[in-house]
A and B are shown apart, each in its own frame.
Chain A
Amino acid sequence: MLTREQEYAVEVEDLTVIYHEKPVLWDVDLRVPTGVVMAIVGPNGSGKTTLIKTILGLIKPAAGHVSILGRSYNQRRQVVGYVPQRNSVDWDFPTTVLDVVMMGRYGALGWIRRPGKAEKQQAHEALEKVGMSKFAHRQISQLSGGQQQRVFLARALVQDALIYFMDEPFQGVDAVTERAIITILKELKALGKTLIVVHHDLQTVTEYFDWVMMLNVRAIAYGPVKDVFNEQKLQMTYGGRTPFLNVVVAEKNAGNM
């Protein structure tokens, strides 16, 4: 039986992040129950990436508090997987696809111990799942954007985490990759994992996710998609700046009728 704290995969309280004297997150609260697949949406510069980086301990908050399954991030890092934005690394680095995927096992290996046969096996299996087996021994600079994203996804899979954070995995990927990511999201959800995904495409929110957080420096709303993903909240999040919103909402309303 779970304790009250452990009901929440991620709990964020009063989180404020200041960057060069400017708040990028203002007093954000968030409680994500275990087992949900949640999108974080919001306009550019709304703090989506900052929020997950702060949860992962990469950015120090000016105020507030984060816990993962009731403990601090440092105590829980073994159960957290991270898929950073694909352009956050240098793809000309001299290494192979298989090697990058094995990096997902480094956390479990700890300091100094080298990956061996078991890790290689796991990496191959993960590459199989994302349809990249043929590329295992390719140099990473030869990959397309979508293939790079699938490599990152495979790397997160071998982490074998309970909670995954993904930063814009659908950004600029091809149709094959998009399908691969969706399949993986579904599989992970079926295994009871919690997924928190920074997402930019409002049209697919209802289709891919069961929870959503709408963020624009402040947390505008979060909860099940059917409860909070509505025109009023979208207006509050995006202001009047996205004309296609009306279309999305109109379609959604039509679907509900």
Chain B
Amino acid sequence: MSIQHIEIQIIASLVAVTCALPGVFLVLRRLSLMSDAISHAILLGIVLAFFVVENLASPLLIVGAGLVGLAVVVGVELLTRTRLVHEDSAIGLVFPALFSLGVILISRYAGNVHLDTDAVLLGELAFAPFDRISIFGHDIGPRAVYVVGVILVINLAFITIFYKELKLATFDKALAATLGFAPLAIHYVFMSLVSVTAVGAFDTVGSVLVVALMIAPPAAAYLLTDTLWIMLLLSAVFGLISALSGFWLSVAFDASIAGFMATMSGVMFLVVLLVAPKRGLVSKLLTRRKQKREIATTMLLVHLLHHENAKNANIECNVSNLPEHLHWHRSMINRIIQFAQKSGFLSRSGELLALTDSGRKRAQEDMIY
């Protein structure tokens, strides 16, 4: 492993974790799409700040981008409040306007600097190790490590210190307001953090993939846990795994690092979606099949109960007549009979079915409903 590979992995991991933490609250607050809007619109902030300071390394670029990110939040709210457009349309109106303004400004006035539209959309993680910081002529490492590192510390500090307030404002805004916790102020501070996070990640993975790193890990974590802090932890871990596995895949296939990172975050979400123990699709499918089988078993038992002492019992309780009487497919009938036999609810002699004591009890109990 070369030193550059190590540095890229450090940057990728920092970016992924930095994005995943605020992403948890975006997902819980149903604001996932705002990350998309913010990550695009901040381009305008970066361009405008660049015109002022004429230096791509200036921290003012982050401030500018953060302000534009906040402008998106406020703009969407103001538009929604007119009640002439819905929130989703408002998002779709505000951020393309700001983003396109940024694109125009770059293409017209900044064509010869490193700010090009490709880098904006996809990032240049592979080049990040070449942009270094030195103090008194002494190289102290890639700039991205420090930029993203500081943003990570800010995110961690904010979420840790205001954990209780964030939780309450996210779960029950009205109670937060009556208790004096200023949920609106918390909202704006939090969205500013999302903007700043997007800027920090933007430089390395580009504006499209920031969204994947903010949303996919928390969305996967949400399916696995019922505890907020574990959701935060799991999101960070998923982010980390996406970053590292994405990096090594990109080395193996000699393709975009950011592309593979985002892909891996999506793959991880898909896997969790399928196999999550309680909420996964597989587990849901199994539960539903089990419920269907239980209900069918009850129906069969009730049918037998109704007819077991009747004169025509040998007709009604005959396996070969059941498909006609119950309107079930023969294969389903055989399956349910087998299951009921195995559970000890009925006994079979030749073609005739008879309830056992426990089968009779179950049929009587279930009929109450």
Task: Establish whether residues B164 and A114, one from each chain, have CB atoms under 8 Å apart when the complex forms.
Answer: yes
Which chain A residues border B172 with CB–CB below 8 Å? 84, 88-89, 103
In the bound complex, how far is the Cα of B178 from the Cα of A80, in angstroms? 8
Which chain B residues border A74 with CB–CB below 8 Å? 180
Least CB distance, A198 to chain B, in whole angstroms: 14
Partner of A96, one of B163, B227, B231: B227
**Interface check B124, CB cutoff 8 A:** no
Task: Establish whether residues A111 and B165, one from each chain, have CB atoms under 8 Å apart when the complex forms.
Answer: yes
In the bound complex, how far is the Cα of B222 from the Cα of A139, in angstroms? 13
CB under 8 Å from chain A, chain B span 155-202: 161-165, 167-168, 170-172, 174-175, 177-181
**Interface check B28, CB cutoff 8 A:** yes
**Interface check B83, CB cutoff 8 A:** yes
Task: Establish whether residues B178 and A95, one from each chain, have CB atoms under 8 Å apart when the complex forms.
Answer: no
Which chain B residues border A96 with CB–CB below 8 Å? 226-227
Least CB distance, B144 to chain A, in whole angstroms: 32
Given contacts A20-B83, A112-B161, contact A94 B174 (CB under 8 A): no
Which chain B residues border A80 with CB–CB below 8 Å? 178
**Interface check A211, CB cutoff 8 A:** no
Given contacts A94-B222, A96-B227, A111-B165, contact A57 B177 (CB under 8 A): yes
CB under 8 Å from chain A, chain B span 76-99: 83
Which chain A residues border B28 with CB–CB below 8 Å? 90, 93-94
Given contacts A93-B171, A115-B164, contact A77 B178 (CB under 8 A): yes
Identity of the chain B residue whose Cβ is nearest the Cβ of A103 in the assembled complex: B168
Taken residue by residue from 137 to 155, chain A's Cβ proximity to chain B (1 for < 8 Å, 0 otherwise) reads as: 0010100000000000001
In the bound complex, how far is the Cα of B174 from the Cα of A80, in angstroms? 13
Which chain A residues border B170 with CB–CB below 8 Å? 93
**Interface check B225, CB cutoff 8 A:** yes
In the bound complex, how far is the Cα of B177 from the Cα of A5, in angstroms? 25
Given contacts A94-B222, A112-B161, A139-B226, contact A107 B171 (CB under 8 A): no
Which chain B residues border A112 with CB–CB below 8 Å? 161-162, 164-165
**Interface check A106, CB cutoff 8 A:** yes
In the bound complex, how far is the Cα of B166 from the Cα of A93, in angstroms? 13
Partner of B175, one of A57, A95, A103, A139: A103
Identity of the chain B residue whose Cβ is nearest the Cβ of A85 in the assembled complex: B174
Which chain B residues border A89 with CB–CB below 8 Å? 171-172
Range, interface on chain B: 20 to 34
In the bound complex, how far is the Cα of B225 from the Cα of A45, in angstroms? 39
Which chain A residues border B225 with CB–CB below 8 Å? 94
Least CB distance, B110 to chain A, in whole angstroms: 43
**Interface check B126, CB cutoff 8 A:** no
Task: Establish whether residues A111 and B181, one from each chain, have CB atoms under 8 Å apart when the complex forms.
Answer: yes
Task: Establish whether residues B177 and A58, one from each chain, have CB atoms under 8 Å apart when the complex forms.
Answer: yes
In the bound complex, how far is the Cα of B110 from the Cα of A39, in angstroms? 66
Taken residue by residue from 279 to 293, chain B's Cβ proximity to chain A (1 for < 8 Å, 0 otherwise) reads as: 000000000000000
In the bound complex, how far is the Cα of B60 from the Cα of A115, in angstroms? 38
Partner of B179, one of A53, A77, A93, A114: A77
Which chain B residues border A77 with CB–CB below 8 Å? 178-180
Which chain A residues border B121 with CB–CB below 8 Å? none
In the bound complex, how far is the Cα of B230 from the Cα of A111, in angstroms? 23
**Interface check B228, CB cutoff 8 A:** yes
Identity of the chain A residue whose Cβ is nearest the Cβ of B167 in the assembled complex: A95
Which chain B residues border A188 with CB–CB below 8 Å? none
Identity of the chain B residue whose Cβ is nearest the Cβ of A89 in the assembled complex: B172
Which chain A residues border B228 with CB–CB below 8 Å? 93-95
Task: Establish whether residues A56 and B178, one from each chain, have CB atoms under 8 Å apart when the complex forms.
Answer: yes
Given contacts A93-B28, A107-B180, A111-B181, contact A82 B175 (CB under 8 A): yes
Which chain A residues border B179 with CB–CB below 8 Å? 77, 106-107
Which chain B residues border A136 with CB–CB below 8 Å? none
Taken residue by residue from 243 to 286, chain B's Cβ proximity to chain A (1 for < 8 Å, 0 otherwise) reads as: 00000000000000000000000000000000000000000000
In the bound complex, how far is the Cα of B228 from the Cα of A111, in angstroms? 19
Task: Establish whether residues B171 and A100, one from each chain, have CB atoms under 8 Å apart when the complex forms.
Answer: yes
Q: Which 7 A-B pairs have the closest CB atoms?
A: A107-B179, A139-B226, A93-B171, A89-B172, A82-B178, A56-B178, A94-B226
Other 14 A-B pairs with CB < 8 A, given A58-B177, A58-B178, A94-B225:
A58-B174, A77-B179, A77-B180, A84-B172, A84-B174, A89-B172, A93-B28, A94-B222, A95-B226, A95-B228, A103-B167, A103-B168, A103-B172, A112-B162
List 21 A–B pairs whose Cβ atoms lie within 8 Å, in order of A's numbering. Answer: A20-B83, A58-B174, A58-B178, A77-B178, A77-B180, A82-B174, A84-B172, A88-B172, A89-B171, A89-B172, A94-B226, A94-B231, A96-B226, A96-B227, A103-B167, A103-B171, A103-B175, A106-B164, A106-B165, A106-B168, A112-B164
> Residues of B with Cβ closer than 8 Å to A?
28, 83, 161-165, 167-168, 170-172, 174-175, 177-181, 222, 225-228, 230-231
